[in-house]
């Protein structure tokens, strides 16, 4: 059985993330979506909220589970015996960033293979910072995030609260 891990902050979860999760779920026997913390940014949603959004959005994918994890992704992968690390690429900047991470992961755990999936063209421009900006000023997010995420994002940004 091939077990893969798709890590990310997912703050907020986007339709681009969901597309990658769906595609990865067809490539591997099991997929664990790992919600982590981006230590360089203030979070809008708590890890538990992010997990709830993902679980609600992938409930039809029987081979996908969602977990919260802190620490090195490769350490988590060793614990669960995962062999593939899934990453999404939107552009050349993502490629360069992911290339460095893949190199470090290979140095730490040579048995783990990084698999990069190209983002669907509909979502190549989507980033969390852009989504937050659009939500803050009342723009239409309906084609970019699940409906529950759009509502929660607008509510959270209007209230001025962020989570860690």
Reading the block at residue 80, the tokens are: 């669960």
Cα 38 to Cα 128: distance, rounded to the nearest angstrom: 12
Cα 33 to Cα 4: distance, rounded to the nearest angstrom: 9
Can 90 be counted among the known catalytic residues? yes
Cα 123 to Cα 38: distance, rounded to the nearest angstrom: 21
Can 142 be counted among the known catalytic residues? no
Can 81 be counted among the known catalytic residues? no
Catalytic-role residue among 17, 50, 132, 156:
17
The answer to the question of whether 89 is labelled as a binding residue is: yes
The answer to the question of whether 36 is labelled as a binding residue is: no
Cα 98 to Cα 19: distance, rounded to the nearest angstrom: 19
Catalytic-role residue among 23, 67, 78, 90:
90
The answer to the question of whether 124 is labelled as a binding residue is: yes
The answer to the question of whether 88 is labelled as a binding residue is: yes
The residues assigned a catalytic role are 17, 41, 90, 128
Pick out the residues of the known binding site.
9-10, 17, 41, 73, 87-90, 98, 123-129
Pick out the residues of the known binding site for substrate.
9, 41, 73, 87
Pick out the residues of the known binding site for ATP.
9-10, 17, 88-90, 98, 123-129
């Amino acid at each position: 059985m091939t077990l893969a891990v798709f890590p990310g902050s997912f703050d907020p979860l986007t339709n681009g993330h969901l597309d990658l999760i769906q595609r990865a779920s067809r490539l591997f026997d099991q997929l664990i979506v790992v919600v982590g913390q981006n230590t360089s940014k203030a979070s809008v949603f708590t890890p538990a909220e992010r997990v709830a959004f993902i679980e609600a959005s992938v409930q039809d994918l029987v081979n996908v589970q969602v977990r919260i994890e802190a620490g090195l992704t490769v350490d988590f992968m060793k614990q669960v015996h995962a062999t593939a690390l899934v990453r999404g690429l939107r552009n050349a900047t993502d490629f360069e960033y992911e290339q460095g991470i893949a190199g470090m992961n290979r140095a730490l755990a040579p048995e783990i293979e990084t698999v990069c999936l190209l983002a669907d063209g509909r979502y190549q421009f989507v980033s969390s910072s852009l989504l937050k900006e659009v939500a803050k000023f009342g723009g239409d997010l309906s084609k970019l995030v699940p409906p529950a995420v759009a509502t929660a994002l607008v509510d959270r940004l209007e209230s001025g609260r962020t989570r860690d």
